[in-house]
Amino acid sequence: MKAIAYYERLLNHYAEMPDNEPFDAPIEAVAGVLACTRRNAQLVLRRLADEGYIRWLPGRGRGRQSRLVLLLTRRELALRKARLLVEREHIQEAWQLISALQEEAGIAGDEAAAWVSGQFGLKRSQEERDVLRFPFYRPVPLLDPAYVTRRTEAHWLKQIMNTLVDYSRKDKAVMPQLAHHWEADASFQEWTFFLRKGVYFHDGRLFTPDDVVYTFERVLQHSPSDWMKQLIKDVQPAGKHRIKFQLAEPAAAFPNLLCTERFSIVPQGWDGREAGMPVGTGPFRIVKNNESMLALEAHERYFEGRPHLDRIEMWVWPDYEGQPAPDDMRGNAHLLYSEGQLNRGASAGAVLQQLEQGATYLSFNLAKPGPLQDRKLRFAFHYGLDRFRMVEELQGIRVLPACGFVPESERASAAYAASFNPDKAMALVKQSAYAGEQLQLYTYSMRSNEENAAWLQAECAKLGIRLQVVVLPIEQLADPAVIARADLIVAGEVLGEQPDITLIEMYRSGCGYIANHLDPQHKAAAEAQIAACLRQPDDKARLALLQELEEQLKRDCCLLFLHHHMNIVGHDRTLGGISINAWGKINYKDVWIHG
């Protein structure tokens, strides 16, 4: 980048000189512009000429002046600078420069953005290393399993780490992972897991039972609000390749609970200080994670077989949905998680879609004194919000009004959403204890959340209900003290590979929105239902119990369901092994390249 800085000095000093035409430039004057000695100025000019910035015509003989030709315009220099930043993996700086170019120079910014788009997709090196590169709108600095709460981070943990067991949607069963077998006593309170031999962490250490003990002690100690702390009484090695858990209550579903990402196994002694660079046993290892890029490379000794891809690069491009997608995807194997990009440029590729398991909802804080203790006011929200219009106006990946966390038939969703009756809603507001107080509506930072909150604020104003929107980082909104201050929270719950287990976690989590907003009566009812769930070995029976709980909360209007999302992934047809997981993402270990 030094060459660019030197050229910028020349360009600024000789701004009045014509482009691509020689002009007199004595070496002494040039040395002054470059703030260096005559000898160093000659070296700099030679370098700039070699790299195509200038032509330098040194004066030879008495009375002959040296002449200089500036070959790049300011626009061309900015384009070159953006490319160099990208090539050196300074993606954030490149994005800022291109954004500024688009505002100031229009076409130049679009050219730079188009060039960046061309860097995405499959890149095969001369050594035939397959690198998959794609954009994402934010970095992922927190990949410590003990603290992960967002779907993207949970998805990345699955690429770099393993749990003792894992759930297979295809087989609808818990499958071996770091443990190859497990068994329980008759009470379902003592569980023994038999560990694989010859499993290596990314740093070369051999996996042992001590790593399992360390992982669970760390999670339970670092997450004081974690409800599993009350369930797991003890975890100890039971031999060189066995681990034993003692539980405080019967839990036939215990193996299912261990599939969750926060129980991903870390090596003994990993303290989480480098939270963006965890060490795992998974198919990929992290080699870089900063504000510009997350880069993973294949784990050569992965116990389930080396991945086909050699490297994955997620470039942090905050406005990538606003950038033009290439007209033809066939030249590169692209992977896009943006519906905006898909709509503009993915016609040559394939598009996978699935209705997301989960829903966006509005939680009422019944644990806080105030007007929301009045059922009439809560039902005013229910009758006063037109879910169909919310989906239609906000669009994006919102596709269907919701009547519960698990998507049901369109008829059931339509019946719930069809309760919209603004006259009845306004009558209930007048009959309620609401006296015009400003209620605090919290959500966490994400564009779709902020759109939802703004829409709710505007619609409630029509009913005479005043809402103040408070947007916080998700880490702050995971604090029970902050959750307790909110009158309402609008958020989404994405059900993982096991919807029943995600819901159990949601209702029991010490940092969950609904769990913290329930009044003592509803909290006791939820706890009794969850305890019954844990005793059930069958997932369908657990889900039925959870749906009974959901119906009770709906009857008392403890929360309102708003809408469901559609997961969309676009990819080039040269990518094989593509399927969408519960998070709406791709499991990269299975991806391979045609040809």
DSSP string, 173-217: EEEESSEEEEEE-TTS-EEEEEEPSS-B-TTSPBP-HHHHHHHHH
Whether residues 80 and 170 fall in one domain: no
List CB contacts of 221: < 8 A, sequence separation 6 or more.
none
pTM above 0.75, yes or no: yes
**In this structure, are 528 and 441 located in the same domain?**
yes
Average pLDDT of the residues in 239-261:
95
Residue 579, pLDDT score: 85
Of 297-306, 308-317, 330-339, least confident by mean pLDDT is 330-339
Q: Read off the CATH number of the domain in which 480 is found.
A: 3.10.105.10
Same structural domain, 63 and 81: no
Within this chain, do residues 535 and 484 fall inside the same structural domain, yes or no?
yes
| CATH number for the domain harbouring residue 24 | 1.10.10.10
Domain membership of residue 108 as a residue range:
76-117
162 pLDDT higher than 60: yes
- Note whether residue 423 is domain-resident: yes
Query: Which of 2-16, 152-166, 208-222, 424-438 bottoms out in mean pLDDT, i.e. has the lowest?
Result: 2-16
Pair (41, 88) in one structural domain: no
Q: What is the pLDDT of residues 442-465, one digit of tens each?
A: 999 988 999 999 999 999 999 999
Are 536 and 523 in the same domain? Answer: yes
Domain edge (last residue) among 250, 266, 282: 282
Does one domain contain both 44 and 98? Answer: no
Distance CA 48, CA 332 (A): 33
Torsion sign (Cα): 261, 263, 267, 273 = positive
DSSP state of 304: T
* Residue 376, pLDDT score: 97
Residue 107: Cβ within 10 Å count: 10
Q: Place 77 in a pLDDT band, splitting at 50, 70 and 90.
A: confident
Are 468 and 488 in a shared domain?
yes
The whole-chain average pLDDT of the chain stands at 88
- Asked if the model's pLDDT at residue 40 lies above 80, the reply is yes
Q: What confidence score (pLDDT) does residue 343 get?
A: 46
**Total structural domains in the chain?**
4
Residues of the chain with pLDDT > 90, as a percent, come to: 62
Is 584 inside a domain boundary? no
3-state secondary structure of 486: coil
- The pLDDT value given to residue 443: 98
Lowest mean pLDDT among 131-140, 188-197, 296-305: 131-140
Residues 218 and 183 in one domain: yes
Percent of the chain with pLDDT over 70: 90
Q: Residue 114 pLDDT more than 80?
A: no
CATH number at residue 189: 3.90.76.10
Higher pLDDT, 382 or 65: 382
Mean of pLDDT values over 20-34: 91
Tell me whether strands 559-571 and 358-364 are parallel, antiparallel or unpaired. antiparallel
378 within domain boundaries:
yes
For the chain, how far is it from start to end, CA to CA, in angstroms?
Answer: 37
**Together in a domain, 384 and 531:** yes
Most confident by average pLDDT, 78-82, 422-426, 445-449: 422-426
- Residue with the bigger pLDDT between 411 and 482: it is 482
In a domain, 298, yes or no: no
Residues 157 and 91 in one domain: no
pLDDT in tens, 478-506: 999 999 999 999 999 999 899 999 999 99
**208 token code pair:** 């042992």
In this structure, the answer to whether residues 530 and 385 fall within a common structural domain is yes
Name the phi and psi angles at 98, rounded to 5.
-65, -40
- 474 conformational bin, left if phi > 0, alpha if psi -120 to 50, beta if neither: alpha
Statement: residue 330 has pLDDT above 60: no
Final residue belonging to a domain, choices 62, 96, 117: 117
Q: Last residue of some domain: 282, 312, 330?
A: 282
Looking at residue 222, its pLDDT comes to 77
Surface-to-core class of residue 264, CB atoms within 10 Å of its CB (0-12 exposed, 13-18 middle, 19+ buried): buried
Q: What are phi and psi of 365, to 5 degrees?
A: -85, 95
pLDDT band per the 50, 70, 90 thresholds, residue 74: confident
Tell me if 302 is assigned to some domain. Answer: no
Q: Report pLDDT for 344.
A: 43
Q: What is the mean pLDDT of residues 426-433?
A: 97
Whether 58 is covered by a domain: the verdict is yes
